Structure 1
């Protein structure tokens, strides 16, 4: 069995392109594995924290249009057009975005929960649950009580999750992720680092991810031949 290909992904729960990018990457990884056949290496994914708007209050008094109009200084009509476009792109990737019921919030605690879930071997499940809760179901992902409920829904211990969040146990890990993003020069998400050397910015098409994974695999094969 070949050594796994590690993919580190910087993202924010409140980033619509990050959920779209997640789906496109998953399809690209599946395409790569299918093309490579039985000899394909495992693709191992780890998510890292990135806050797009760290100054956002936990309970924002307004809808997504009002937030983006204020945060980006855009005309509300422009924001509505942008959200409609993103909703259409999300739908094309199999995602159902409901910006009308979305509860904009600070995501620092959600990032802490992702690190708690990683420690329990359930980071990928937690990320999927948080994205769906936020963009599709209109759930609140900024308050401890709501996050504990979401953690329990994927089988994590409710009391342990609450303890981790209330004690800020994983806040240092979140900060370390953000510091690493600065070192890499990451200025937006999603951002994918493949095998520690190839960076892919944005929600690229599945084929792009499949090609990058294939490039890593072929380079490894060349090294093995030369050795």
Structure 2
């Protein structure tokens, strides 16, 4: 059996381009797989933590325009145009972003929950559920009780999830991901490393991801980037 292609992705559930990038990667993988046919190896997608705004409070007073204005120095009208632009791009990949109800918050607990889910075989499901909850449903992902409820929705043990968040059992894993990002020189997300060798930054088009997967498969004998996969 052909060894799977590993794809490491640094992202933040509060990054609008990360969700778009996830959808575009999935579309690109489908295109690549259709081209390869039955010979296509499996793809092992592994998400890593990256906090875009670690200083954000759990309860931010204001909407996304307020956040961009106060913390990024962007004029309100420009911020509104930016959000309209990204909403349109999200719609092109069938994501219904709702910045009008989005609750900006600190994401470290959400990252801890993703690692808890990974330990229980549901990292991909948890990442998808959190991104959807944040960008399309207005759920408050800085609150442990909300996170635990979402974990339960994908079949995880809610008592175990609550305990993991209360004790910060997976905080070291979050910090390890962030240190790895620093070592690799990652300063923006989404950031993809395919087969430990080929890096792509940003929410690339599906065709770009498909080409990158094809290239990675052809060049599997090349040594990996130091520290890219762990």
CA distance in 2, matches of 1:98, 1:219: 41
CA distance in 2, matches of 1:40, 1:209: 15
CA distance in 2, matches of 1:8, 1:216: 13
1:89 maps to which residue? 89
RMSD over aligned Cα, in angstroms? Answer: 1.0
| 2:202 equivalent to 1:193 | no
Output aligned runs, 1:69-218, within 5 Å: 69-218=69-218
Output aligned runs, 1:14-53, within 5 Å: 14-53=14-53
CA distance in 2, matches of 1:217, 1:179: 28
Cα deviation for residue 221 of structure 1 reads: 8.4
Deviations 1:173-203 (A, max 9, x none): 0000000000000000000000001110000
Deviations 1:120-174 (A, max 9, x none): 0000000000000000000011110100000000000000000000000000000
2:98 is paired with a residue of what secondary structure?
coil
Deviations 1:35-86 (A, max 9, x none): 0000100011000000000000001011110011111101000000000000
Structure 1 residue runs without a partner (length 5+):
223-227
CA distance in 2, matches of 1:203, 1:56: 24
Cα deviation for residue 219 of structure 1 reads: 2.0
CA distance in 1, matches of 2:143, 2:68: 21
2:5 maps to which residue? 5
CA distance in 2, matches of 1:220, 1:51: 31
Structure 2 residue runs without a partner (length 5+):
223-230
1:68 maps to which residue? 68
Deviations 1:3-48 (A, max 9, x none): 1000000000100000000000001111111100001000110000
CA distance in 2, matches of 1:29, 1:185: 25
Cα deviation for residue 105 of structure 1 reads: 0.2
CA distance in 2, matches of 1:195, 1:221: 10
2:219 is paired with a residue of what secondary structure?
helix
CA distance in 1, matches of 2:121, 2:29: 20
1:146 is paired with a residue of what secondary structure?
helix
